[in-house]
């Protein structure tokens, strides 16, 4: 990595930190929040220069995502920019949609689940396709202008990629809250007419494309977890130094010291893997590191979250206290992107 890129990355990291520090105004989920990301240029980060993106790539995405975790931002950067955008950026036919996504004028949700086969079916019709089926837990789908959907083509094993506007006839969106306060929803397709031009893939190659996008999504999710557990660790360490019981700070008790040290190590393991995955030059190695980073972020996140609550004691059981919000963030991430064991075979195939 050249020094120039290192400098740019450093600047980005500082901008992210400032942005996160300044926004406790609750507009993370609003139109304004997305506009701000667009104005900051972050919607260009995940894509290569050839398609109009910025060259900071996964390292840049990772910095933005750590900020999302740290600040518990609900802006759907991961599903919209990394996942849906990641698919668009790999489909030459989608260049106009991608341009609108990068500008922030069009918001596309990702109606597919990492590691799962599509549940929608597309049948060929005279003027294009008819789409049927539904996808659950699509992140921030109620904010989206369109969805990027996967569908099985007829009775074949083939998978096709489709962009469908959420206001198209036959599309239904049923939003629900996630346990951490973010939003998701079920998007249903009831015999929805899709123009031939809105199928993005040429025949074949979709599997490889999806694996690449999913790998980037898992690394981004690991970075989100990293940002969140960093805060949990820092807050717990500070609390252990301040909180006094039995006439001394609880952090002076060795049983808690050892547990805090283990939290610090678990945090460092994630940080090391996320950083290596984002910096790796070799594609294969970067992929394996990204999956490992995600898996380790879940293991570390569970331990750090549970220990943060235990060491804080009853105060962390309150709805008002921040610890619970971070714990829920990491838990929801895990359930959305898949528990470690679900990714073991993917890891083995990539190393």
Partner 1 sequence: MTMIFTDDDKAFSAEVRTYLSDNLPAELARKVRYNQRLTRDDYTSWQDVLAARNWHAVGWPASAGGPGLTQTQRYLFEREYGALSCPHPCQFGIAMAGPVIFTFGNDEQKARFLPGIRENKDFWCQGYSEPGAGSDLAALKTTAVREGDHYRVNGQKIWTTWANWADWMFCLVKTDLEVKPQRGISFLLIDMRSPGITVRPIKTIDGDEEFNEVFFNDVLVPVENRIGEEGQGWTYAKFLLEFERFSMSGAARSRRVLSEIRADAEALGKADDARVAERLTRLEIELLALEHMELHLLARSVGGENPGPEASKLKIRGTEIAQALSRLRVDLHAEDCLVHSEAFLDASEPSDNPSAMGAIATYLNQRKLTIWGGSNEVQRMILAKQILELG
Give the binding site for partner 1 (CB under 8 A): 1, 237, 240-241, 249, 251-252, 254, 257-258, 260-262, 264-265, 268-273, 275-276, 279-280, 289, 292, 295-296, 340-341, 344, 347-348, 351
Closer to partner 1 by Cβ: residue 277 or 332: 277
Separation CA 60–CA 41 (nearest Å): 11
Triad 141, 147, 152: Cα angle to 5°: 125
Separation CA 9–CA 13 (nearest Å): 6
Separation CA 148–CA 212 (nearest Å): 16
Place of tokens 């919607």: 43
Closer to partner 1 by Cβ: residue 144 or 289: 289
Considering the complex, what minimum distance in angstroms separates the CB of residue 83 from partner 1? Answer: 23
Residue 148 has which token pair?
A: 């990027």
Separation CA 215–CA 293 (nearest Å): 10
Closer to partner 1 by Cβ: residue 123 or 276: 276
Place of tokens 């971070």: 326
Separation CA 173–CA 348 (nearest Å): 37
Separation CA 113–CA 138 (nearest Å): 8
Closer to partner 1 by Cβ: residue 68 or 271: 271
Contact 210, 91 (CB under 8 A): no
Closer to partner 1 by Cβ: residue 176 or 351: 351
Smallest CA-to-CA distance from 87 within 108, 65, 115 is with: 108
Closer to partner 1 by Cβ: residue 10 or 176: 10
Separation CA 6–CA 35 (nearest Å): 26
Closer to partner 1 by Cβ: residue 148 or 298: 298
Considering the complex, what minimum distance in angstroms separates the CB of residue 258 from partner 1? Answer: 5
Separation CA 153–CA 120 (nearest Å): 9
Considering the complex, what minimum distance in angstroms separates the CB of residue 63 from partner 1? Answer: 14
Closer to partner 1 by Cβ: residue 114 or 250: 250
List strand residue ranges (DSSP E) for 38-127, in order: 108-111, 120-125
Closer to partner 1 by Cβ: residue 191 or 268: 268
Considering the complex, what minimum distance in angstroms separates the CB of residue 343 from partner 1? Answer: 9
222 contacts: CB under 8 Å, gap ≥ 6: 270, 273, 274, 277, 290, 293, 294, 296, 297
Closer to partner 1 by Cβ: residue 207 or 238: 238
Contact 79, 140 (CB under 8 A): yes
Separation CA 55–CA 47 (nearest Å): 7
Residue 38 has which token pair?
A: 């667009």
3-state helix, strand, coil in the chain (%, to 5): 60, 20, 25
Considering the complex, what minimum distance in angstroms separates the CB of residue 300 from partner 1? Answer: 9
Considering the complex, what minimum distance in angstroms separates the CB of residue 307 from partner 1? Answer: 13
Considering the complex, what minimum distance in angstroms separates the CB of residue 252 from partner 1? Answer: 5
């Amino acid at each position: 990595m050249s020094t120039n890129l290192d400098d740019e990355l450093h600047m980005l990291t500082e901008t992210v930190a400032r942005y996160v520090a300044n926004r406790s105004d609750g507009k993370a989920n609003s139109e304004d929040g997305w506009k701000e990301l667009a104005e900051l240029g972050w919607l260009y980060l995940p894509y290569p220069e050839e398609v109009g993106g910025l060259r900071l790539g996964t390292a840049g995405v990772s910095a933005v995502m750590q900020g999302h975790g740290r600040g518990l931002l609900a802006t759907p950067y991961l599903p919209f920019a990394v996942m849906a955008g990641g698919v668009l950026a790999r489909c030459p036919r989608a260049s106009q949609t991608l341009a609108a996504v990068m500008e922030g004028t069009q918001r596309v949700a990702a109606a597919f689940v990492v590691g799962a086969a599509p549940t929608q079916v597309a049948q060929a019709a005279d003027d294009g396709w008819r789409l049927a089926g539904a996808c659950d837990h699509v992140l921030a789908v109620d904010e989206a202008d369109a969805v990027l959907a996967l569908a099985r083509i007829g009775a074949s094993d083939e998978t096709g990629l489709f962009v469908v506007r959420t206001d198209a006839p036959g599309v239904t969106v049923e939003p629900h809250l996630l346990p951490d306060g973010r939003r998701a929803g079920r998007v249903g397709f009831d015999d929805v007419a899709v123009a031939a031009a809105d199928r993005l893939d040429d025949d074949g190659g979709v599997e490889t494309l999806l694996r690449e996008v999913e790998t980037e999504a898992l690394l981004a999710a690991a970075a989100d977890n990293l940002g969140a557990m960093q805060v949990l660790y820092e807050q717990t360490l500070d609390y252990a130094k301040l909180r006094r019981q039995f006439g001394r700070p609880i952090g002076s008790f060795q049983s808690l010291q050892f547990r805090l040290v283990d939290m610090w190590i678990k945090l460092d393991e994630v940080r090391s893997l996320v950083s290596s995955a984002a910096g790796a030059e070799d594609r294969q190695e970067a992929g394996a590191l990204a999956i490992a980073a995600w898996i380790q972020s879940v293991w570390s996140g569970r331990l750090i979250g549970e220990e943060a609550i235990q060491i804080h004691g009853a105060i962390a059981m309150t709805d008002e206290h921040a610890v619970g919000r971070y714990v829920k963030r990491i838990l929801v991430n895990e359930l959305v992107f898949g528990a470690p064991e679900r990714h073991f075979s993917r890891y083995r195939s990539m190393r």
